[in-house]
């Protein structure tokens, strides 16, 4: 709490904005979603209130992503549409932050000169002071090369009262040739363990039952802290500390890197009661040749060894993964190797992506090896069909079993259906009218699909 008070004291409160309505529009990953919660917290600390939609907002913050090419296209299309929104009322303010702003500040300013504030990932906590300056002096662009305040120092307004993101590190020290994250998020910086534990305890006091630990590479957490004088990961020990917190029911984490999985982390997942038996293992490609071009730090055989290790230690673990289809020079044989690894690993689900060249990454300069779009599309469909078949089998194993389900929301398609996740992270629907968000209940799974489970109350 002391950190939040400190940050608030640095905000130059603007009485004219008290009662104004804000809205945060988010593109991209979980890290961006959590950053948006911090932005919302800073806006409310400044006296603003949340609008139900951007149409009703006086202050609009667009939190951008740049992981794929269509993310940039979507951003500039959105900013073009928002010009009409901004011009409709003279006192409206438009702010753009996040990864695309960090990477392409001048391009954002050039393509959308009507934006009041352009700021990057490293000066998120300064958003209110920048807004004040823009109102006094006109449009402003401020991108820092190094972080000034940890984004975790800012207050946050969570979308869920019962589930929360908890950032344990920012930045990344890896050099994957397809990834822009190190350029826009900087080098890996781990938070102190005590700060993380204290924030988790505070979240529990506020009613949170499930936390998801966030980082670009969570299982290398603590390597930069040199705890006990040693430069080694401290992730398993962090899980142990969090597992001791009274009132906390579940702990998840995302995203780890396959090359950094240690046995001690897997034993923590197996033995710690509150750590969910769900592990994300990003594959990206099943071809050793492509993995080398990606600079992933492992080959096909090493990845399969990690899969075997995980399954040998964590019984009935739920595995998820990422796969990029059509990376430069990917041949038919390379893609077949990816399919083989997917078949062997038996992931519960996969996040599939078509290769998208990002300016500023080494893969962007591999133009002579780019794969034709129709070939990528065909391979994508093949992978999707295979994974749907695997997911059908994997999800069906729960039918007839008893599970604990945390109710989080209502179904997007049917407001009479409640939805949440079981321990393995699988989306589960239940038709009950007497339940409330935040209930952690015993259910029996009676049906499955490749994408969600159906349950009834025990």
Same structural domain for residues 446 and 359?
A: no
pLDDT confidence of 333, banded at 50, 70, 90?
A: very high
Q: Using the 3D structure, point to which of 142, 171, 204 is the last residue of a domain.
A: 142
Across residues 33-44, what is the average pLDDT? 85
Q: Compute the distance between CA of residue 376 and CA of residue 383 in angstroms, rounded to an integer.
A: 11
Same structural domain for residues 266 and 320?
A: yes
Same structural domain for residues 21 and 103?
A: yes
**Which of 87-101, 139-153, 388-402 has the least mean pLDDT?**
139-153
Top-confidence residue, 121 or 364 = 364
DSSP secondary-structure letter at 281? -
**Which of 142-156, 337-351, 413-427, 431-445 has the least mean pLDDT?**
142-156
Q: Using the 3D structure, point to which of 396, 422, 438 is the last residue of a domain.
A: 396
pLDDT confidence of 4, banded at 50, 70, 90?
A: very low
DSSP secondary-structure letter at 284? B
Q: Say which residues have a Cβ less than 8 Å from residue 137's Cβ, sequence separation at least 6.
A: none
Top-confidence residue, 97 or 72 = 97
Q: Compute the distance between CA of residue 319 and CA of residue 258 in angstroms, rounded to an integer.
A: 12
- Range among 124-133, 187-196, 332-341 rated most confident: 332-341
Element (H, E) at 454: strand 453-457
Could you give the count of Cα atoms lying within 13 Å of 122 in the half-sphere of its Cβ? 21
% of the chain surpassing 90 pLDDT: 57
14-33 core/surface letters (b: 16 or more CB in 10 A; e: else)? beebeebbbbbbbbbbebbb
Across residues 348-366, what is the average pLDDT? 92
Element (H, E) at 146: none
Could you give the count of Cα atoms lying within 13 Å of 281 in the half-sphere of its Cβ? 30
Same structural domain for residues 381 and 406?
A: no
Same structural domain for residues 260 and 377?
A: yes
What CA dihedral angle connects 416, 417, 418 and 424, to 10 degrees? 180
Q: Is residue 9 scored above 50 in pLDDT?
A: no
Predicted local confidence at residue 281, as pLDDT: 96
Across residues 16-39, what is the average pLDDT? 84
- Range among 151-165, 173-187, 425-439 rated most confident: 425-439
Q: Is residue 315 scored above 50 in pLDDT?
A: yes
Q: Supply 53's token pair.
A: 């939609």
pLDDT confidence of 383, banded at 50, 70, 90?
A: very high
SS3 410: strand
pLDDT confidence of 194, banded at 50, 70, 90?
A: very high
How many domains, in total, are found in the chain?
3
Across residues 248-260, what is the average pLDDT? 94
Could you give the count of Cα atoms lying within 13 Å of 413 in the half-sphere of its Cβ? 3
Q: Compute the distance between CA of residue 457 and CA of residue 388 in angstroms, rounded to an integer.
A: 27
Q: Compute the distance between CA of residue 82 and CA of residue 60 in angstroms, rounded to an integer.
A: 9
Phi and psi, residue 372, nearest 5°: -60, 145
Cβ proximity of 163 and 212 under 8 Å: yes
> Rounded to whole angstroms, what are the CA distances from 241 to 55, 195, 235?
44, 12, 10
Same structural domain for residues 287 and 363?
A: yes
SS3 314: coil
pLDDT confidence of 150, banded at 50, 70, 90?
A: low
Q: Which residues pair with 140 in a beta bridge?
A: 117
Same structural domain for residues 186 and 129?
A: no
**Strands 189-190, 278-280: parallel, antiparallel or unpaired by DSSP?**
unpaired
* CATH code of the domain containing 424: 2.40.50.140
* CATH code of the domain containing 198: 3.80.30.20
Predicted local confidence at residue 308, as pLDDT: 97
Phi and psi, residue 86, nearest 5°: -70, -40
Across residues 266-295, what is the average pLDDT? 97
pLDDT confidence of 90, banded at 50, 70, 90?
A: confident
pLDDT confidence of 10, banded at 50, 70, 90?
A: very low
The overall average pLDDT reported for the chain is 88
Same structural domain for residues 353 and 240?
A: yes
* Domain with 440 in it: 402-457
Q: Using the 3D structure, point to which of 142, 168, 188 is the last residue of a domain.
A: 142
Q: Is residue 328 scored above 60 in pLDDT?
A: yes
Same structural domain for residues 325 and 368?
A: yes
Top-confidence residue, 65 or 198 = 198
Top-confidence residue, 369 or 415 = 369
Q: Supply 349's token pair.
A: 């689900």
Across residues 311-339, what is the average pLDDT? 97
% of the chain surpassing 70 pLDDT: 91
Q: Is residue 23 scored above 90 in pLDDT?
A: yes
Q: Supply 12's token pair.
A: 């130059």
Q: Say which residues have a Cβ less than 8 Å from residue 286's Cβ, sequence separation at least 6.
A: 300, 303, 334, 337, 338, 339, 340, 341, 342
Cβ proximity of 145 and 173 under 8 Å: no
Cβ proximity of 32 and 26 under 8 Å: yes
Q: Is residue 24 scored above 70 in pLDDT?
A: yes
Same structural domain for residues 119 and 56?
A: yes
Same structural domain for residues 328 and 182?
A: yes
Top-confidence residue, 92 or 226 = 92
* CATH code of the domain containing 69: 3.40.50.12160
Same structural domain for residues 192 and 215?
A: yes
Q: Supply 114's token pair.
A: 């009507």
**Which of 90-99, 149-158, 159-168, 280-289 has the least mean pLDDT?**
149-158
Across residues 99-122, what is the average pLDDT? 85
């Amino acid at each position: 709490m002391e950190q939040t008070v400190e940050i608030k004291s640095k905000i130059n409160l603007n009485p004219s904005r008290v009662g104004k309505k804000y809205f945060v529009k988010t593109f991209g990953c979980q890290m961006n979603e959590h950053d948006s919660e911090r932005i919302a917290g800073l806006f409310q600390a400044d006296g603003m209130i949340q609008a139900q939609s951007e149409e009703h907002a006086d202050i609009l913050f667009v939190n951008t992503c740049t992981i794929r090419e269509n993310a940039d296209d979507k951003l500039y299309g959105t900013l073009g549409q928002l010009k009409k929104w901004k011009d409709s009322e003279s006192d409206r303010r438009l702010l753009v932050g996040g990864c695309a702003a960090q990477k392409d500040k001048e391009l954002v300013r050039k393509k959308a000169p009507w934006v009041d504030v352009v700021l990057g990932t490293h000066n998120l906590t300064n958003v209110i002071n920048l807004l004040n300056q823009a109102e006094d002096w006109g449009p402003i662009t401020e991108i820092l090369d190094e972080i000034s305040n940890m984004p975790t120092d800012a207050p946050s307004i969570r979308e869920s009262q019962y589930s929360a993101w908890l950032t344990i590190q920012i930045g990344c020290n890896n050099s994957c040739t397809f990834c822009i994250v190190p350029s826009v998020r900087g080098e890996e910086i781990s938070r102190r363990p005590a700060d993380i534990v204290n924030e988790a305890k505070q979240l529990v006091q506020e009613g949170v039952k499930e936390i998801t630990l966030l980082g670009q590479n969570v299982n290398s957490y603590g390597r930069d802290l040199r705890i006990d004088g040693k430069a080694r990961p401290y992730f398993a020990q962090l899980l142990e500390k969090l597992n001791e917190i009274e009132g906390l029911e579940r702990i998840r984490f995302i995203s780890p890197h396959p090359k950094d999985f240690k046995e001690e982390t897997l034993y923590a997942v197996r033995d710690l009661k509150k750590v969910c038996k769900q592990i994300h293992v990003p594959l990206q490609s099943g071809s050793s040749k492509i993995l080398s071009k990606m600079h992933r730090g492992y080959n096909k055989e090493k990845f399969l060894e990690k899969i075997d290790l995980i399954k040998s230690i964590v019984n009935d673990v739920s595995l998820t993964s990422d796969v990029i289809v059509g990376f430069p020079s990917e041949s038919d044989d390379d893609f077949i190797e990816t399919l083989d690894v997917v078949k062997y690993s038996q992931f519960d689900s996969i996040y599939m992506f078509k290769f998208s060249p990002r300016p500023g990454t080494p893969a962007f300069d591999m133009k002579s090896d780019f794969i034709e779009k129709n070939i990528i599309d065909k391979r994508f469909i093949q992978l999707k069909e295979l994974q749907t078949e695997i997911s059908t089998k994997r999800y069906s194993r729960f039918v007839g079993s008893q599970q604990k389900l945390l109710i989080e929301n209502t179904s997007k398609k049917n407001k009479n259906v409640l939805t949440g996740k079981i321990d393995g992270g699988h989306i589960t629907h239940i038709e009950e009218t007497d339940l409330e968000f935040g209930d952690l209940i015993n259910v029996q799974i009676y049906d499955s699909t490749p994408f969600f489970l159906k349950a009834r109350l025990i």
